[in-house]
Amino acid sequence: MNHVLANRVAIITGGSSGIGRGIALEFAREGATVVVADLQEESKVGKYYETDVNTTTVAEIEKLGGKSFFVQTDVAQDSQLENLVGQTVEQLGGLDILVNNAGIFIPGDLQTLSMSDWDRVTRINYRAVFVGCRYAANFLNQSSAGRIINIASVLAFGGGGGPAYPSAKAAVVNLTRDLALQLAEYETTVNAICPGYIETAVQDYQTTEAIAISRARTPLPRFGAPRDIGRAAVFLASADAAWITGTCLNVDGGWSASV
C-alpha cells in the first residue's frame, strides 16, 4: 500500500481527543510518525459525542501498526511548546508537519465573558499557534516537505460564537496567510482548515436547541466527524498539496455556502 505520509514526522497539538485525535489517526494510517501533544493523554468522553472512547490516541495508532508517543503540553505555556518541538526533533531526528489544533471554547458575550476567560481563549486559540510556528519553523524549513496546518473555524468569517473564539480563529486565518508568505522561500506550506460542526466532546457546552440550529445550517445530511478533518489534513500534508499555501479550506458540510 502506498502511504502518502510515509517517513514523515508530525506534531499534533490537542491530539488526545476530538479533531486532533481524528487527524492523528489518519496521519498514522498514511505512514506518519505522530507526536501527540495535549494536557492529558486520556481522551475526553463527551455527553453527546465520543461517549464510548476508552483508549488513548497513541494506543489506537499502535493498533494500526504505527509509531507514536505522547508529550504532555500546555500550549498556553511558551516553554512547553519549545520543549515539545525540541523533544520531537531529539527523539525523531527532525520535523515535517506541525498541526496547530489545540483550542478551547468558553461561552459568554460582551458583558458576561470575563477578561481572564477572554485572555485564555485568545492565548490558546491564537497566540499558541504563533508560538508553535515560531519554534517549529526552522526545522520545518529543513524538511523536504515542510507543512504547517492550522485548525481555524467557519466562525472565523462571521459573527456568532462570542467575542473571543471567532476573533481568535479569524486571527489564525490571517496568520496562516502571513506565514505562508514568510516561509514560501523554503517551500514550507502553511494552510488552515476551517471546520464546521464536528461531533466531538468539545460540543458538550451546547444545548439541544443550539445543536438543532447547527443541524439546520448544515446542508449535507449529517454533521462532520473527526475523520473528515483528518482526511483534509492528510491532503494538505501530502505531496499533492505541495503548491498550495496560504489557503483556508472549509470542511463544513456546506455551512459557509449559504452565508
The pLDDT tens digits of the residues spanning 132-169 come to: 999 999 999 999 999 999 999 999 998 888 999 999 99
Give yes or no: 48 in active site.
no
pLDDT tens-digit series, residues 224-248: 999 999 999 999 999 999 999 999 9
d(CA 214, CA 196): 9
User: Which residues, 6 or more positions from 27, have their beta carbon under 8 angstroms from its beta carbon?
Assistant: 5, 8, 10, 12, 34, 97, 230, 233, 234, 237
Share of the chain above pLDDT 70, in %: 99
User: Which residues, 6 or more positions from 8, have their beta carbon under 8 angstroms from its beta carbon?
Assistant: 27, 31, 32, 33, 96, 97, 145, 237
d(CA 153, CA 193): 7
pLDDT of res. 89: 98
pLDDT of res. 130: 98
Grid coordinates belonging to 80: 512547553
pLDDT band with cut points at 50, 70 and 90 for residue 258: confident
d(CA 215, CA 229): 18
Architecture of domain 9-251: 3-Layer(aba) Sandwich (3.40)
pLDDT band with cut points at 50, 70 and 90 for residue 106: very high
pLDDT of res. 161: 87
d(CA 197, CA 229): 11
d(CA 58, CA 28): 10
Q: What is the DSSP letter of 43?
A: P
Grid coordinates belonging to 18: 476530538
Active-site residue, selected from the candidate residues 49, 126, 165, 197: 165
Is residue 36 helix, strand or coil? Answer: strand
The residue among 41, 137, 127, 42 whose CA lies nearest residue 89 is 137
Task: List, as one string, the DSSP characters of 222-239.
Answer: S-B-HHHHHHHHHHHHSG
Type of residue numbered 3: H
Question: Domain extents for the chain?
Answer: 9-251
pTM flag (> 0.95): yes
pLDDT tens-digit series, residues 43-91: 999 999 999 999 999 999 999 999 999 999 999 999 999 999 999 999 9
